[in-house]
Structure 1
């Protein structure tokens, strides 16, 4: 498939997550380190489409495969949200839009977890995908 000229690529902006999900995540983040994973899991269980919650779980997972699984679910939930917002598999999903960040963080955490388990081709694919979504992408956007 030929590459679309930049002018022909539309930008998709994800909608703001529900207030209850955002508030629940803020409270989970404020919990002590031992309780944070469980508190975040409860938020995501109550709001399973909440991509930022999956991104948080992908950071908090105890083992590489657990982090990978959380990030993979968040990535797929993010793709669903993007499609619902009009994304057709091409176009920009920029970091500069706050509501896109949960999805992009899931991608970064999926890439990191893939590296941990030796999925080199996935690491390369995700790196390219990040730059397709946001030509101004910088890995420094996400602090591990």
Structure 2
């Protein structure tokens, strides 16, 4: 499936490997290809990025996609339970405090639960509205304005008109 320069490179490289007596299989191709087109320094940088990865401002779905992409560069052996712990540790605190006690060891199930918690958390958050002036001395209760107070006139209660 290689095209262009990569196709020409592989033709020459594979022939050279065969001439040396190297068995050219998938593992061999992958190693040589990555050495050529994806230097070790870049792979190490991605691994370090994976180890520092936090959800931050990403949604759980965005975080999971980034996590899985960078996990490919992690060079140590991993287990599903370790992957789940690593993912959960990087979640925002509000999500982590709910998800971690569940002790989920299946990555897809963990991502799904984190998504559910994220949706529930977003429902409970108040919508910010523009209020009165900052530093207002209003107690925020049902304090009435002077023009809302009833006026006594000849035994009946009427409201003062605000029209001029």
TM-score by length of 1: 0.28
| Higher-helix-fraction structure | 1
Higher relative contact order (CA 8 A, sep 6+): 1
| Higher-strand-fraction structure | 2
TM-score by length of 2: 0.25
Structure showing greater radius of gyration is 2
